[in-house]
Amino acid sequence: MLLAFDTSSAAVTVALASPTGEVLASSSTVDALRHGELLAPAIAAALAKAGCTPRDLTRIAVGVGPGPFTGLRVGLVTARTMADVLGIEVVGVCSLDILALQSPVDQPVAVATDARRKEIYWALYDSPAADGSRRRIEGPAVDRPADVSHVLAGLPLTGRGVTLYAEALGRGTGAEIIEYPSAEALATGVATGTLQTVAPDPLYLRRPDVTLSAGPKSVL
């Protein structure tokens, strides 16, 4: 069994699939502040719905971002810990690739997700191949919407960033906007080989919002 989940966005999305990519159970909850609370129960619920136990898992797939540090860390730590305990393989997938795979259009597409700080994570993808896979041709990168609007202009757009910054980005050719990555697409894409896998390491495109301590300050 393949367990797939992504916590790179405001959504906590989980899916359980057969080795051939048939989705047996899935869920998705949008709550940007509760990744740590929601992920483990969602995994347990998916296993229970499919009548499985963790020992039935043979592989784990996890979205590696780009995304906010805290939410992304929850998913990756969970995936790597479970894989280590169970002695199974864990693979990562760029979360923007998942969204591109979800796009229904049969032409090149741009993905733009919320990077906070009034910025977007974005990438460009080629038209789908015969097997449904899409080749990433540029990105991922992080920029202000206005700074890359000329790059994305004229393309179908998808992702939460398009909803948030519609004025700056426009809405492309009017294709359906899918805001969040889907664990169902992640599971199916990994099982069928239509998503490229990478090491399960976080894809940070900028430093976390922390600074190194300069040492104790003088009180004199």
Enter the DSSP assignment of 89.
E
Structure confidence at residue 187 (pLDDT): 98
Structure confidence at residue 210 (pLDDT): 46
pLDDT values of the chain reduced to their tens digit, one per residue, 220 residues:
999 999 999 999 999 999 999 999 999 999 999 999 999 999 999 999 999 999 999 999 999 999 988 899 999 999 999 999 999 999 999 999 999 999 999 999 999 999 999 999 999 999 999 999 999 999 999 999 999 999 998 899 999 999 999 889 876 555 678 999 999 999 999 999 999 999 999 998 875 544 555 556 555 5
Peptide bond into 181 cis (omega under 30): no
Structure confidence at residue 176 (pLDDT): 76
| Angle formed by the axes of helices 69-86 and 35-50, nearest 10° | 40
Structure confidence at residue 169 (pLDDT): 87
Buried/exposed 58-68: b ≥16 CB within 10 Å, e otherwise: ebbbbbbbbbb
The residues, any chain, with a CB within 8 Å of residue 218's CB and separated by 6 or more, are none
Q: Alpha-carbon distance 32 to 96, whole Å?
A: 18
Q: Alpha-carbon distance 37 to 70, whole Å?
A: 12
Enter the DSSP assignment of 198.
B
Structure confidence at residue 207 (pLDDT): 59
